[in-house]
Structure 1
Amino acid sequence: MIFLRKRESKPVPANDIPQRDLRFTLDDSIPRYWYRGWCHVTRFFDAFSIMFPLGEKFFIDSVKQFRDEIPTGTPLAQEVAGFIHQEATHIREHRLYNQRLAAQGAPTAELDALIARRQQNSLRNISRTTWVALTACLEHYTAILSDQLLRHPEILDGADPTMAAIWRWHAIEETEHKAVAFDVLTTFEPRPLRRYVIRCGAMLGVSVFFVIDLIYFVYRLAACDRQRANWREWWRLLAWLFVYPGIFTRVMPSWLYWFAPWFHPNRIDSRAVLANARRSLEEQS
């Protein structure tokens, strides 16, 4: 069940970042393996949820460093405010999501501690522009994965309706604010060559640890289910990621596009699919 309170009743422009108050009810009616009864694909989504609360706090903190230097009332100031609100809402909802996982026996506290250590290590002796570049990299990951969920809503066919709604909502908001961290980086590191080197280096580093951590989190969640030796489920997950619907295969060109000198998140045009997804969200709320 979804509850939505709008701050204003008029339609939100496609280039705006709305500040919603969206809440989900996660109860015992939701199956343990809520994605078609498939263990490992369910745990793939669940692994992302465990990453989000600390990850999105990291994003908020990186952008907040610049907030006082952005003139009030400017488009960037408004976008930063929307970004912070949306990410804070994601933290709240995914903490509730993760409480459900902890009740199932998932090692959420241990995995949280791993993320905290990873963040502490990454922040040692780096500039604030590098910090926001790391945020922009991870926001690119969430944006291109979200774009797939919005372009291909059939990906969530067969999922529990509440869980599907959580992921569609999250995908909408990641798409809405996908350019904010990148624009902050561009504003506060105006030298194009230096900015390009920072963001490319950040992406290469982020990608290694992101993939390693994601694989490890899925493995740990499968282990808590006593399913780590279920090779049928592992093959099903691999086929789901790389064959059909092939989410990882489909996002590869967009990931590579990051390294183009002229890259900007909004050059990946998601306006039409975002508009359709927003309408669906309004109808369901």
Structure 2
Amino acid sequence: MVTATRLLLITLTLGFIPVFLVFIAPEGPLMQVAGSIVILLLVSLNLFTGRSRISVSSSKTQIVVEEEMNFGDIELPPPILSEESTSEIRDSKIRRSRGRKAAEEPPEMELPLPFPNPNTVSMEEGSPLPDIPDEDVEGLAKIHVAKSDPELMAEAEVDRYLEQQRARRSVFRERLQRERRSEMSHRKAEEARKWADLEDGEDLSTITKIPGHGLAVMYEPEDPDPSIPQGISYFRIDDHRILKIRVSLDVPDTSRTSWQEESGQDSQAPIPPLPLPPDMEMPPPLPELPPPVSTDD
């Protein structure tokens, strides 16, 4: 039987279709899409709503009828009584649960006597071997028994850990010292840069040439030699004093003077005659030259 809600949905669906065709279809595509969605919604509500069908399950009770078993006149055999007592039965069960008895060991076979080694016989019959003193021989293998001592292993582990910590500490110390040196060098460079900027920012030679500059100029040395070229440097001591240093540019050439001295000593010394070969005799002396011819003759 159709319910009132389902009947209302069917009526709305059937009534909305002509309304859609008459009023909504001429409006445009957007209104047509909206009307189509409404129609589909109503149709889906009609299809997927309503009361579900109740399935009637007929449960039949099964009646079990127990039939009495009638064996008739059957005589049961007499019970079988065991001759063993209860304790013996228990002991036998314990033996079976523990397992079978160990199989008898096979009889040991007698080993044949070993044949005598001819080398050993000859050594026994010969002269006795000399006694070898127990001395440490280089290259001789010795017996070493390896032992595992927990205390030694723990101490070795502790020593290894301490070595690792020392290595890490040394690495950290070197890194810290490197960073400190780098920071100190940066600070010194910054301070030197400030002083250089301050000194380069003022021309002391020009300032001292201005009359009435108001600065006390100190000379070093006070009485220089005017015949020698000099280099002049200015240093500011404070806000009111300036130091003027004059340095002589006439540097003696020690290498040249030493060479001149050596050449002078060589020129004063007589030149020795050239050595002659051993097979050659001394040449004869040169003849006397004739007197010069005068213009009067």
- Which protein is bigger by CA-based radius of gyration? 2
Please state which band the TM-score falls in when normalised by the shorter chain. under 0.3
Instruction: Give the TM-score normalised by the residue count of structure 1.
Output: 0.16
Larger helix proportion of the pair: 1
Instruction: Give the TM-score normalised by the residue count of structure 2.
Output: 0.15
